[in-house]
Amino acid sequence: MDRSYDAAVIGLGAMGSAAAYHLAARGLRVLGLERFGPAHDRGSSHGGSRIIRQAYFEHPDYVPLLLRAYELWHALERDWGSELMTLTGALMLGRPDSRTVAGSRASAHAWGLPHEMLDAAEIRRRFPTLRPGEDHVGLYEERGGFVRPEAAVAAHLGLAERAGADLRFFEPAADWTALPGGDGVRITTAAGTYTADRLVVCPGAWAPRTLADLAVDFTVERQVQYWFAPRGGTEPFAPQHHPVYVWEDPEGVQIYGFPAYDGPQGGVKTAFFRRGTPCEPETLDRRIHPGEIAVIAEHLSTRVPDLPGRFLRGAACMYTTTADEHFVIATHPEYPQTTVACGFSGHGFKFTPVVGEIAADLAISGTTAHSVDLFAPRPRSAAEPRTEVSR
């Protein structure tokens, strides 16, 4: 016999956990299905930290969503009773015409965001751990920092259950079918069959197969996060001294990093941004290879010279990237009872609570007060490369 719900959510990672919470908080009977356990490390929402910032180099249209996300992060912390976001300041570095700097500056100007422009000498004075070349500048914003992904997913899941959601772990959806006339969906798992009036699909790295009918050009890539014990200890890298940063070199390679947020034993985390290799989620190589460590250590050696000391550990995760690097958040074009949220392209976690809010809006009413035109599904034939900032 079918078990019926007002809404179902497939995938309970970052976005799915937030969607389940926002739906349940509005009084709906919610089913959540997840192939792994709660706040797992098998996808894209692990590694202890994700950068949060407002002067957004990817596109100015993200800024209003970021401002709302900050409000919702604070509300989540209050309702869950635990700190999830730490503001350390954020520094976007590179040449003045680099995407990282010019795009951040364009968003800051478009939305009147408080920020400072620092030359290389001032960066070195204020943040002695960093060694930019004379031709580099930085945009600094005090409101930047990081959020903790595992804790944030756990908070959304906990509040969803508190609001009455039925969350089922280690129970992946084998199939889902839209019922005729837009009258709900039927979901099949190994444990049984469920029906729901509406469905939210948040498949993460499983988007290429789960949502193949969207014909969106998703690329799943293996990405590696690295932790090092700095030469001279972690004190110079403490949050009060060392900001989160994204740093673009003249060849367009971006690296990002964090302060020593877990004390001396935790080390300092860093990684390349968008320098991954194609992968499949079921066969992701989770080993961290000596050659990979050597490459990032060499890249850091002239930029953060005290950081590539002793390698502590690494973790592999996945980016699911669209051709233009923008998200997909929309009502399914063929099935109006279904909402999709995927393709977060390596920069989505900071938006988690507002994506959950948008997904709930779309699932319930088909509309949202947030501007989401940028996130409509773009089939392969219509997708365009990401928008570059003016040089």
pLDDT score recorded for residue 1: 42
31-75 pLDDT tens trace: 999 999 999 999 999 999 999 999 999 999 999 999 999 999 999
Bridge partners of 117?
A: 139
Q: Which of 202, 91, 80 lies closest to 148, judged by CA?
A: 80
Same domain assignment for residues 228 and 368: no
Average pLDDT for residues 155-165, to the nearest whole number? 98
Q: Cα–Cα–Cα angle for 281, 255, 118, nearest 5°?
A: 150
Q: Which of 243, 267, 294 lies closest to 132, judged by CA?
A: 243
| 3-state secondary structure at position 260 | coil
pLDDT band at 180 (very low <50, low <70, confident <90, very high): confident
Q: pLDDT averaged over the chain?
A: 95
Residues 43, 377: Cα–Cα separation, whole Å: 22
pLDDT score recorded for residue 388: 40
Average pLDDT for residues 84-112, to the nearest whole number? 98
Same domain assignment for residues 362 and 241: no
Strand-strand pairing, 90-94 and 244-248: parallel
pTM, whole model, 2 decimals? 0.95
- The percentage of residues in the chain with a pLDDT greater than 70, rounded to a whole number, is 96
Distances (CA, A) of 64 to 58, 167, 332: 13, 31, 24
Same domain assignment for residues 223 and 299: yes
Q: Secondary structure of 286-329 in the HEC alphabet?
A: CCCCHHHHHHHHHHHHCCCCCCCCEEEEEEEEEEEECCCCCCEE
Q: How many CA atoms lie within 13 A of 12 on its CB side?
A: 32
Bridge partners of 193?
A: 188
pLDDT score recorded for residue 178: 93
pLDDT band at 382 (very low <50, low <70, confident <90, very high): low
Range of the domain at 376: 3-46+150-215+325-382
Is residue 183 pLDDT above 90, yes or no? no
Same domain assignment for residues 330 and 318: no
pLDDT band at 181 (very low <50, low <70, confident <90, very high): confident
pLDDT score recorded for residue 380: 64
Token pair for 246: 């994204």
Any idea what the CATH number is for the domain that residue 238 is in? 3.30.9.10
pLDDT score recorded for residue 182: 76
Residues 140, 117: Cα–Cα separation, whole Å: 6
Same domain assignment for residues 93 and 230: yes
pLDDT band at 386 (very low <50, low <70, confident <90, very high): very low
Instruction: Please report how the helices 99-111 and 63-80 are oriented relative to each other, as an axis angle in degrees rounded to 10.
Output: 80
Overall number of domains in the chain: 2
